[in-house]
């Protein structure tokens, strides 16, 4: 039976509605979903069995992705037994999930947290669409992901999950007044002077976290490869250079280097809401923050095992060196209503790797 919503019902579909959407034929998996593939407010997307290396990234525009692949592919190879994706290359992989969305359901995609923390740049594309990571309401067709490892070569295989997708009915993004009211009730961020005018302002912590005054990690070049399915299998020092706090609490970002830092604030997402990290203002600095922007209901929430959690910041400077200062705002966390509370929150027995996190690398590295 198809999902049915009243006109005023606006928000993001929770886990059980995602399952219902799939049962109604709105999501068409080539193989059955695997356990924990449906998250509280999103669906993990799985790589198919073939990958194409292409000359350049692209948007399909008025044609199909398959047609553009035919025009741009350099070679194709199987992912059935696993394959290495090299840094500096662009790959397109058809996904095991395709869509037949109702006219009132749209979708948005993002890299999974572990993907972003490996500096693997991914974007979902679909036929005849003119934007990355956005799927219009009523779309019927296949999904693909563009993958470009930036720092580490990665081993992937059919079924690997690098991206996630959210489904929404209408728009329920909280404006300034509604966000301030929610913060007054739930204390979304542990700051008495929190700026929540256009989303919760998130600053960078350069004061030093824990023993040794650690402020973050800078990725090493020319490392070994990382198997994206291998948990706690790699030594941190083989891939990362730990960085200690400076007396002036600043950090100079070197061009084209990749950093893992943490937010100054601890944030939380109440059960009836989902959040997304968005850029603060492209005019305030030559750097990019947070490749993986989705925060599920229950992230950092006391009722789901959290006491507020730092947002891990995936930072890359662009063409010029840039100085970050302690507390400098680098992003905003925007909140959106859920259509209903999920059956299970982030952190409640669903393999949540980053609940109550502080400064934390991806799940692939040993603690």
- Determine the Cα–Cα distance for residues 330 and 225; give it in Å rounded to an integer: 30
Query: pLDDT of 127-186, one tens digit each?
Result: 998 889 999 999 999 999 999 999 999 999 999 999 999 999 998 899 999 999 999 898
Supply the pTM of this predicted model.
Answer: 0.92
| Size of the chain in residues | 367
Tell me if residue 239 falls in helix, strand or coil: helix
Are 136 and 127 within 8 A, CB to CB?
A: no
Rg (CA), the chain: 20
Interacting residues of 115 by C-beta distance below 8 A, sequence separation 6+: 122, 162, 163, 228, 291, 292
Over residues 43-77, the pLDDT tens digits come to: 999 999 999 999 999 999 889 999 999 999 999 99
Distances (CA, A) of 28 to 24, 96, 119, 147, 273: 9, 8, 29, 22, 26
Which tokens in the block code for residue 182?
Answer: 């929610």
Rounded CA separation 360/349 (Å): 20
CA atoms within 13 A on the CB side of 80: 3
How many CB atoms lie under 10 A from the CB of residue 351? Answer: 9
* pLDDT beneath 70: ranges in the chain: 1-2, 6-7, 210-211, 280-287, 290-292, 303-307, 347-357
- What would the CATH number be for the domain defined by 11-169? 2.70.40.10
Q: What integer pLDDT is reported at residue 198 of this predicted model?
A: 81
Q: What pLDDT sits at residue 7?
A: 66
What are the structural domain ranges in the chain? Answer: 11-169, 176-337
Q: Which CATH architecture fits 176-337?
A: Distorted Sandwich (2.70)
At residue 357, the pLDDT reads 55
Do the domains at 11-169 and 176-337 have one common CATH topology? Answer: yes
- pLDDT for 1: 45
Looking at residue 352, what is its pLDDT? 47
- Residue identified by tokens 């809401």 is 273
d(CA 239, CA 117): 12
């Amino acid at each position: 039976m198809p999902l049915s919503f009243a006109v005023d019902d606006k928000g993001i579909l929770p886990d059980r509605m995602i399952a219902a959407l799939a049962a109604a034929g709105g999501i068409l998996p080539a193989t059955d979903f695997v356990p924990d593939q449906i998250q509280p407010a999103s669906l993990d997307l799985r790589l198919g069995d073939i990958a194409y290396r292409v000359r350049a990234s692209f948007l399909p525009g008025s044609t199909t992705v398959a047609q553009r692949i035919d025009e741009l592919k350099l070679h194709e190879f199987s992912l059935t037994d696993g394959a290495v994706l090299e840094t500096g290359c662009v790959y397109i992989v058809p996904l095991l999930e395709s869509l037949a969305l109702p006219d009132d359901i749209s979708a948005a995609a993002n890299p999974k947290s572990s993907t972003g923390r490996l500096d693997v740049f991914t974007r979902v594309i679909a036929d005849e669409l003119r934007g990355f990571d956005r799927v219009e309401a009523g779309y019927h067709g296949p999904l693909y992901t563009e993958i470009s490892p930036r720092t580490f070569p990665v081993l992937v295989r059919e079924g690997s999950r690098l991206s996630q997708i959210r489904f929404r009915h209408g728009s329920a993004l909280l404006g300034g007044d509604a966000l301030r009211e929610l913060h007054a009730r739930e204390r979304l961020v542990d700051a008495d002077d929190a700026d929540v005018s256009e989303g919760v302002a998130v600053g960078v912590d350069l004061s030093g976290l824990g023993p040794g005054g650690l402020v973050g990690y800078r990725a090493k070049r020319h490392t070994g490869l990382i198997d994206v399915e291998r948990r706690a299998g790699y030594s941190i020092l083989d891939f990362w250079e730990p960085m200690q706090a400076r007396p002036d609490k600043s950090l100079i970002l070197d061009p084209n280097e990749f950093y893992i830092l943490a937010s100054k604030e601890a944030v939380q997402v109440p059960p009836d809401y989902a959040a997304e990290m968005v850029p603060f203002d492209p005019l305030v600095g030559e750097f990019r923050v947070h490749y993986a922007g989705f925060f599920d209901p229950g992230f950092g929430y006391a009722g789901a095992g959290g006491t507020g959690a730092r947002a891990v910041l995936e930072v890359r400077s662009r063409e010029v060196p840039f100085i970050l200062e302690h507390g400098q705002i680098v992003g905003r966390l925007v909140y959106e209503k859920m259509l209903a509370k999920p059956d299970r929150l982030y952190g409640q027995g669903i393999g949540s790797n980053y609940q109550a996190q502080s400064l934390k690398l991806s799940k692939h590295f040993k603690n």
